[in-house]
A = this chain, B = another copy of it.
């Protein structure tokens, strides 16, 4: 597997565009991703009872459409809690894109992100779509424009592309995503779009996606708030020329490894760019007796406000880590737990069998001062492990969310 420079246009046959349609004040706010040939589509969506209109539409497309070919996205307004009127606007978005592209509206995924409760400004949206279609292009720049256009409070665009060999053919998997606040995915995260030129059946594509989110997007949390708009959409257009993957086996595993790399790196980008964050904070739980236990423990640590504030303060306050494991709902013996802090500055064992190792606070602070920090927690019960992705809790998180709408 090889990581390459590129975004959603890296796989063969994918075009993209991003522009400012006037929904947000000054920043790009609409994106379009389009495949020159029909794609197999898969999706995973928020488990929030309150589902945005585009989530309802995309679920229908995923389950019922024979193929998909485009994704149209706006940022600035989430089209959530907007009733029947909002749903009609969502369908209108799909219809407008379909008309401009000359495809069926059922082949168009729609995604929205931004403020909840407001209606979409449909004149601007329709005009935006009409400008997006002629702007579609392949290449690095077009992908970057699309990645920029889906951002809200994100401080940087989030893109990745990797290549793998399948049947002697080069298969590319690429993705972009946005997400910075209201991040506590449960089946999916804010918005993520993955493109690939692999040939793969709908069943295997959906399986690959659904299985992988459990270890990637579902292991992120910025603030414990599960969004109404969470969606991960995956489009595969078969242009790589590999023999279609229709069952588990070597080719499927190879594709899944590439997908996992893309989804893991995008997950880390989301967590590390969490609202107000100064660092990516990961919890790596080892020695668990089941995968589920490892995930529960890891996620509880990165969700703890007290732990996150301590990481911001570069304070090795390990009692908060052990405390968060303790209230996670998972059973373990706290008096057997070892905890290390690791980062590019080094690794330090701070807890052994549930009590303080008498470590150097100075070195711990140095480790905690890096841009990526991991707490490794060994519960000594078995062979399973999991990693969860979070960030620190800072003044800026409060600032950003205290006056988000003003």
Which residues of A pack against B, CB within 8 Å?
47-51, 78, 80-83, 115-118, 181-182, 184, 186, 223-228, 303-306, 309-310, 312-313, 315, 317-320, 322-328, 330-332, 334-335, 351, 353-356, 393-395, 397-406
> Closest CB of chain B to A359's CB: distance in Å?
11
Cβ contact within 8 Å between A78 and B319: yes
Cβ contact within 8 Å between A327 and B402: no
Cβ contact within 8 Å between A117 and B355: yes
Q: List 7 A-B contacts (CB under 8 A).
A: A48-B326, A49-B327, A80-B323, A118-B356, A224-B303, A224-B305, A315-B404
> Closest CB of chain B to A77's CB: distance in Å?
11
Given contacts A81-B354, A334-B50, A404-B317, contact A309 B397 (CB under 8 A): yes
Cβ contact within 8 Å between B405 and A317: yes
**Chain B residues closer than 8 Å to A80, beta-carbon distance:** 319, 323
Partner of A81, one of B224, B334, B403: B334
Which residue, of A80, A117, A224, has the highest number of chain B Cβ atoms within 10 A? A117
Interface secondary structure of A, over-half rule: loop
**Chain B residues closer than 8 Å to A325, beta-carbon distance:** 49-50
**Chain B residues closer than 8 Å to A330, beta-carbon distance:** 49
**Chain B residues closer than 8 Å to A182, beta-carbon distance:** 306, 320, 323
Cβ contact within 8 Å between B47 and A398: no
Cβ contact within 8 Å between A406 and B315: yes
> Closest CB of chain B to A137's CB: distance in Å?
35
Cβ contact within 8 Å between A312 and B116: no
Given contacts A226-B327, A228-B326, A326-B228, contact A117 B318 (CB under 8 A): yes
Cβ contact within 8 Å between B331 and A49: yes
The complex places the Cα of A220 from the Cα of B402 at a distance, in Å, of 21
**Chain B residues closer than 8 Å to A51, beta-carbon distance:** 326
The closest CB in chain B to the CB of A399 belongs to: B395
Partner of A319, one of B116, B305, B398: B116
> Closest CB of chain B to A130's CB: distance in Å?
28
The complex places the Cα of A47 from the Cα of B315 at a distance, in Å, of 26
Given contacts A225-B305, A225-B306, A306-B225, contact A319 B115 (CB under 8 A): yes
Cβ contact within 8 Å between B225 and A82: no
> Closest CB of chain B to A226's CB: distance in Å?
4
The closest CB in chain B to the CB of A230 belongs to: B327
The closest CB in chain B to the CB of A308 belongs to: B401
**Chain B residues closer than 8 Å to A118, beta-carbon distance:** 356
**Chain B residues closer than 8 Å to A116, beta-carbon distance:** 317-320, 322-323
What are the 6 closest A-B residue pairs judged by CB atoms, nearest first?
A116-B319, A313-B402, A50-B326, A309-B401, A226-B327, A48-B326
> Closest CB of chain B to A381's CB: distance in Å?
13
